[in-house]
Structure formats: structure tokens, C-alpha cells
Amino acid sequence: MVGGEGDVVAVVDGQPAFRIAAGHPLTLSADGAAFRVNDGAEGRYERLAFASLSPARAITVGGRAYRGTVEAFVRRNAITVVNQVPLEAYVAGVVNAELGRRSATERAAVEAQAIVSRTYALKNRGRFVAEGYDLEAGITDQAYGGLAAETDVGREAVRATAGVVLTWHGDLITPFFHSTCGGRTADPTEAFVAVAPTPYLRSVRDVRPDGSAWCDVSPRFRWTVEWEGSVLHDILERTLPNVLGVDPASVTELRDVYIRRRGPSGRATDVRVRVAGGEIPVPAHAVRTVFETPDGRSLGATAVEFEARHADGRLTGLVAHGGGWGHGVGMCQWGAVGRARGGQDHQTILRAYFPGTTLARWY
């Protein structure tokens, strides 16, 4: 549903097509290569742009408020809705969608996130140009909640850092970030297949002077997952073929799961699944998706210890004791919150996670 807090005009090829009254959103439904508006009562279109007639009033999509304009079009028989918004407004819709609602005492973490998110957006602008937009509004890129996700602290952080980005020798960096590192961030080789080595992306110890982790404030700092043997077999019988292309017939009786190799941060980079016919290697980038939890989620992190239970040579159960959440590369978001609570400013936070980089005003 598309509507607005005030009146909204729908535009086709630069010309007004119809008006949507404030508080009375219209439904869009795919119809082949086009879409119908209100079951065709307002017409059938291949593309529509929606703009608020009052700049102070937001457009709504599915009941959520957004700044800027909205464009709708059909691609592969499904409706794509794109929010066209100035970069700083985009960043304001990202920071709290990524970090959650933060207090004024944690503003330095929000400022750090604003700089990282701005850098990410500029670095990756246009990567989905063939799909008709720049960035996706989820974990493929960055969480984006539009005006509905903004907070006063977030807007202040964005204003205070407007135009500021992270650079390496004058170029925009590739600014990875994640929820919780568990006390040490990851080297890119521990998480990704094709990320070029860079001096500013490396495993760093992320602890206070007393040795405790900055991100121990995270609700996902430590966690445990347990599988019964038969449940794990059913999961691996599906994920190993889907993720790694393993022949399903090779996923026979489970004998063991163990970590053969770890990376610079101690994360698992080579996990072996022992079956009746031999061993199936699971590389670093696939560990989290292959070892899906019983409730259908990816494993929280690869900073993990596996505890296997056996009976009569068979694997009867597996327990994962993990630390942190996410891929672990770059800025630890909960670590940034912990550092902000400890009195660090955004410059100190970013230097810790992206060593050797420079803050620069890009515009």
C-alpha cells in the first residue's frame, strides 16, 4: 500500500496521473508486466512515481513513513518499490535501524555508524543498477527503515558527521561491520571468499584495559545451540548440497563434526563433517549457513567450539558454544556501543576497528 501523511501525487512520465488523499493509501498488485492500482480503479501502469505535495509530510509504504519520493515498477512479475532519497536522509534511516535506539550517552557509537554507513553507501552506489536501484534495504547491504527508524540521537549524529567518510590513501574504504565480535574481530579470510586483503581490515583484539570485551554488553555475546543427531542429519542433508553442491547421497550416517583449522582470530575456518563414506569439508564462508540452527537460522558466528556426543560410532548430538554474532569483520557494533559508554569518541572507535584509515570530508 502506498499513501502519505499528506496528499500524494502519482506521476507517469513526468505528468500527474492521479492523487492519493492523506491517510487513504492505495494498493498496488502485480498484473503481468505491469501493476494495477486499487484493483484497476486508478489504472494499470508499468511504472509510477509518488511524491508528497507537502515536503514536510512523508510518503508511506506498507504503513511505514519515508522521506523523498517513491517509485514503483514491475520486474520479474513482482513489484519493486524504490525510495529515492538524499544520501544524508538515507543515512539517518540506517543508523538506528542498524544500532537500535541508543541513548545520548552512546551517541559516539551512532556517529561512528553514520560514518561507516555513509562510506558504505558511497562505495557501493549503483551496484544494483541493473535492478533499478542502488542499494537494498536489508542485510544484503544495510538495514534501512526510512523516517520511521529515525531518532533524535540518530539525526544529531548524522548532522554532526555530515559528509564525513573513511578513506585509505584518499580512496573510500570497504567498511564492513557486524553485530558482536566476542572480543576479537575477524580477518576477512575467515568470513568471505573474495574480499581483497587490505591493511585496515584485519583481526584486532577488542577488549578493555582489564581484559574484558567491549561488546560484552551485547545480548548475543555468548550463546549455545544444540542439535539432536537426527535433526542435524536432516539439516546437513539439505544445506550441504544447497550451499556447497555436495551430492545428497554422500550425506550418509553422521559419525562426527570437528574443527580442523582456525583463522587468525581463532574462528573456525575448516570444519569437517565425518560420514560413513569419509569427510565433507565445510570452508569458513559456509560454516554459518551449513550449520543451520534447529529453528532455521544461520549459526550466530564462527567463533565457536563444537562438543560432539557419540554412541556406537555414531553422532547422537552436537552442541555449539559460540561467541559474538555475525561475520566478525570490521566494526563491532556492540563494541562501539561499549566504547561509547566508556567515554570514547567516534574517531577513537573507528581507529580501533579500521586501523590506519583517515576521516575525510567527502562533500
Question: Considering Cα of 67, then 73, then 76, then 77, what sign does the dihedral take?
Answer: positive
326-345 per-position pLDDT tens digit? 999 999 999 999 999 999 99
What is the per-residue pLDDT for 56?
Answer: 87
What is the per-residue pLDDT for 4?
Answer: 92
Gap between the Cα atoms of 280 and 100, Å rounded: 39
Gap between the Cα atoms of 287 and 310, Å rounded: 21
DSSP letter assigned to residue 178 = E
What is the per-residue pLDDT for 40?
Answer: 80
The phi, psi pair for 238, rounded to 5°, reads -95, -45
Which residue type occupies 267?
R
- DSSP labels, 214-281: GGGGSTTSEEEEEEEHHHHHHHHHHHHHHHH---GGG--SEEEEEEEEE-TTS-EEEEEEEETTEEEE
What is the per-residue pLDDT for 69?
Answer: 95
The mean pLDDT values, 10 residues at a time, for the chain of 363 residues are 93 92 92 87 90 92 94 90 96 97 97 98 94 93 95 98 97 97 96 86 96 98 98 98 95 96 96 96 97 97 97 96 97 98 98 98 95
Gap between the Cα atoms of 279 and 273, Å rounded: 5
Whole-prediction pTM: 0.93
Contacts of 225 by beta carbon, 8 Å cutoff, 6+ apart:
293, 294, 299, 300, 319, 320, 322
What is the per-residue pLDDT for 244?
Answer: 97
Chain centre distance of CA 269: 21
H or E segment at 123? helix 107-124
